[in-house]
Structure 1
């Protein structure tokens, strides 16, 4: 039987976290529904206010207001369940996003796409729990040692994101091209063993959640057998009635074949997994000029980037699949029909 996921004084009845998916794929609708089933619903803050009236003129201020809006809306649906946010370290003005999420009462902040070195200081004074996303023992070591040395603090939760995940990935393209040769179970076990040092020092349990390629009950059982305390699932929740993306976006997942899934390089140089679209084929042939900056990523130079990732993601989530970027996980080709969040939990919980 599954055990509840305990993060300090927070308890999720079901040890399933719904992964944060931007732009606009996981906002209040999906996160609230997952929380209501006993899991942890995660809102992605990546350009979260993309459909707000002022977004084109004032992206960052609009996003900061939208964070509170969607946390509040998710709470209304959550039936007392837990609501968190995913905030990328690469986000421009990252600190403001963290503060906005804390002030809005987020239960948990999950942070990756870079090393969240300053996160303990940014949440100081708030009850919000923090969880770094790591893909290697080396990354876990750097973060936990730095937090210990600089802030006399440690993680409340660790998310280990494997090579079969969607979106930006913490692996080289060569590693992603040879996934079957990676002994990733050993890496997971090593991280779980390593964090015990900090559990002992801070006299607290640091639960570990495994993400990337978690599709069915057997995948969950396998993750738990490695010593994990829970799992994070993303792609399966896209094809639900409650997902915040357009019907066209969801249908792109259902229509995807295995050969449609490719490793692409994002404008910030990180590899990611996506469904190949006409837009991504064009990007592979020539640079698409950027005529407007949406102030999304810290290290993106509009004059040099091959395309605007914000524009590409917004086009996709609104339904212009051919003209957009559709991030996805490795198992997306296994999705065959629309469902609901409740039906997924009914299938996966044991």
Structure 2
């Protein structure tokens, strides 16, 4: 057996499998709790997590902060001692408040990307939460680890390296996603692993490396582990599970999609993203979608300029209004053919 338990400080996951955080509403308490119960690390996405709270349209930030605590508590109850954390985008408005809410709710891990989480160590100081940046390059990893070392005299508890085959927002230029060179990307992973060893020695601690993006089956898992990773992060595989928090219609969109439906789009966030082509995206080719209400989700979003409201698009999708929704997915979404369970997916990934 190639797999070993994933140890992050005092935390020990029986299986080195992290479920990727998927917003809006795709990975909340039910999915994260189920993954943690099966021995992995379940992750709740905080992106507009309170979309179904009563006062969300009036006060989205307060609704989200309350929902973070509520879903972490519920996930921990489901997990029965398993490891549960959150994914918080740096691009989120009131980012610091979201981190503080997760800390107060005793999130086991906080994973942060969509920007450089430079001040994350300060926000979790004195807490039980372990922290990891999401990185896609040696350059980004070097910047973060140097800054954390210099400003806070600390380092990452683990690293999540997200590759070009991942779903949702991607930390790559669009031209890098047209003709993907996976061999070059594997070399980048090796360079990141080499770099983190410097900080392991300095701080006398292990910094596990988790790779994400395009992992679908046992062969992908074996390849990642043999290339030096300590664990894997998987998102897409968990969408079509009974426990996933998305609507049945959303899950069915994955099952029905074909390879040619999976495309790289430009998100209002300013980053490229991978999504399933549908009537909503087709309509956007003819002009922008009018934004009638701003939910204040992203730091650098001007409702007067962006082509559509990403909160509304993602909320429509999770609720099953697919013709008006944005459906993010990983590169392998077309390989999903049926609704399954978290337990079955975990068993299929264990090597």
In structure 2, distance between residues paired with 1:101 and 1:34: 19
Q: Which residue of 2 aligns with 1:5?
A: 6
In structure 1, distance between residues paired with 2:224 and 2:190: 10
Q: Which residue of 2 aligns with 1:201?
A: 202
- TM (norm. structure 1) is 0.99
Task: Map Cα deviations across residues 65-121 of structure 1 (whole Å, 9 max, x no partner).
Answer: 000000010011102100000000000000000000000010000000000000000
Unaligned residue ranges in structure 1 (runs of 5+) = none
SS in 2 for 1:285: coil
The answer to whether 1:129 aligns with 2:134 is no
Q: CA deviation at 1:182?
A: 5.7
In structure 2, distance between residues paired with 1:181 and 1:69: 39
Q: Which residue of 2 aligns with 1:140?
A: 141
Unaligned residue ranges in structure 2 (runs of 5+) = none
In structure 2, distance between residues paired with 1:175 and 1:349: 31
Q: Which residue of 1 aligns with 2:34?
A: 33
SS in 2 for 1:219: helix
* RMSD (Å), alpha carbons: 0.8
Please identify, of 38-47 and 285-294, the stretch whose mean Cα deviation from structure 2 is larger: 285-294
- Asked if the contact 1:175/1:182 (under 8 Å) is kept, the reply is no
SS in 1 for 2:242: coil
In structure 2, distance between residues paired with 1:181 and 1:241: 32
In structure 1, distance between residues paired with 2:279 and 2:143: 39
In structure 2, distance between residues paired with 1:284 and 1:154: 44
- TM (norm. structure 2) is 0.99
SS in 1 for 2:263: strand
Q: CA deviation at 1:183?
A: 1.2
In structure 1, distance between residues paired with 2:210 and 2:182: 22
Task: Give the alignment of 1:190-229 within 5 angstroms.
Answer: 190-229=191-230
In structure 2, distance between residues paired with 1:294 and 1:277: 23
In structure 1, distance between residues paired with 2:234 and 2:182: 23
In structure 2, distance between residues paired with 1:50 and 1:181: 36
Q: CA deviation at 1:181?
A: 6.4
The answer to whether 1:154 aligns with 2:155 is yes
In structure 2, distance between residues paired with 1:81 and 1:287: 44
The answer to whether 1:116 aligns with 2:124 is no
Q: CA deviation at 1:180?
A: 3.6
Q: Which residue of 1 aligns with 2:233?
A: 232
In structure 2, distance between residues paired with 1:285 and 1:189: 43
Task: Map Cα deviations across residues 265-314 of structure 1 (whole Å, 9 max, x no partner).
Answer: 00121000000011111112211121110010000011111100000000
Please identify, of 275-284 and 185-194, the stretch whose mean Cα deviation from structure 2 is larger: 275-284
Task: Give the alignment of 1:67-146 within 5 angstroms.
Answer: 67-146=68-147
In structure 2, distance between residues paired with 1:88 and 1:182: 28
In structure 2, distance between residues paired with 1:336 and 1:304: 38
